[in-house]
Amino acid sequence: MLELFKVNEDQLSSAKILVVDDQIINLEIVRACLEPHYNITCQAESGKVVEQAVSIQPDLILLDVSMPEIDGLTLCGLLKANEATKHIPVIFLTGLDDSEEACWNAGGADFVQKPVSEVTLFNRVRVQLKLKFYTDNAQLYASIDSLTGVYNRLLFDTQLRATIGHSIRTKAAFGYILIDLDNFKRINDEYGHAFGDRCLKSVAQALRDAAQRPMDVVGRYGGEEFMILLPDTNDAGVVRVAESVLDKIRAIQLKPGPSDDAVYLSASAGVMCAHGTKGMTVESIFSRVDAAMYEAKHNGKDQYVVVN
């Protein structure tokens, strides 16, 4: 399992590092040490750091301790108090002889003494980035359905809550599609669970193919139930994706064995286009779209029903 979380070189070389120091020379020296390996952004004005960190979401922040506008220790506290930046590790760059304890107490992950040694800086940065990416990978894997690779219910619901909030703020509509594979119990009973798993993987891929925008989210609710979240999508867009989903599932042809005939799949779906409102919850949306999906089943399967 731990191997799954392993940090690879591609991840490391894509790391974004924000370097903060009020002295340009210090910034340029740190940039020269690290830029051959990582993506570096420099900031000389400490008052702009929190906003910038929220915006660019660096993987690591290097922070000078002594700065005129906001000192590094205070700034680290502000970053750790902000929901959007609290997870970003901070390495202090310090020339102060007696600031070690203060650096740890402020929430620093490590510190590097100035004048910087390029070898020490490189290695301490690398250690913190590895830890950060390892944690990121662990969280990602904890959020992914291990069989199909789509979001699990926990992460999907988190995304749905965020989308409801976004819709309340922007008045933009969003779509929610609940998909249930038809006759899946019979498939499992007839051809075995290994074949059933192949079917679920193919369906998950069909859903990913149908919901292709970067902000679209595909999840597995459990068993043979999947869902799709379509932020910033109107009625027509949601219906178009639902039709595409059912078409792509109908196109799946899987053979249980080399000499067997192909098994064709179909699914039933509940489809909803909504605007976020105060009081709207994941549960309230799910119950409506779940009822629509069961109506599609009741009407003969292999179809979708739109929530009124």
Positions marked active-site: 224
The Cα–Cα gap between 112 and 287 comes to 54
CB of 41 to another protein, least distance (A): 18
Decide: is 23 part of the binding site for another protein (CB under 8 A). yes
Decide: is 95 part of the binding site for another protein (CB under 8 A). yes
- Work out which of 19, 90, 114, 174 binds another protein, going by CB under 8 A: 114
Decide: is 32 part of the binding site for another protein (CB under 8 A). yes
Helix (H, G, I), strand (E, B) or coil at 36: coil
Lookup: tokens for 207:
């859903």
Judged by beta carbon, residue 54 or residue 96, the one nearer another protein is 96
Element (H, E) at 92: strand 90-94
Decide: is 24 part of the binding site for another protein (CB under 8 A). yes
Per-position DSSP letters for 164-230, written without gaps between them: HHHHHHH--EEEEEEEEETTHHHHHHHH-HHHHHHHHHHHHHHHHHHS-STT-EEEEEETTEEEEEE
Decide: is 19 part of the binding site for another protein (CB under 8 A). no
Taking CB under 8 A as the binding criterion, the range among 27-35, 47-55, 103-111, 132-140 that sits at the site for another protein is 27-35
Full strand arrangement of the beta sheet holding 304-306: 217-222, 225-230, 173-181, 267-275, 304-306
CB of 122 to another protein, least distance (A): 10
CB of 251 to another protein, least distance (A): 55
Decide: is 68 part of the binding site for another protein (CB under 8 A). yes
How far apart are the two ends of the chain, measured CA to CA in Å? 45
**Binding residues vs another protein (CB under 8 A):** 22-26, 28-29, 32-33, 36, 64, 66, 68, 95-96, 114-118
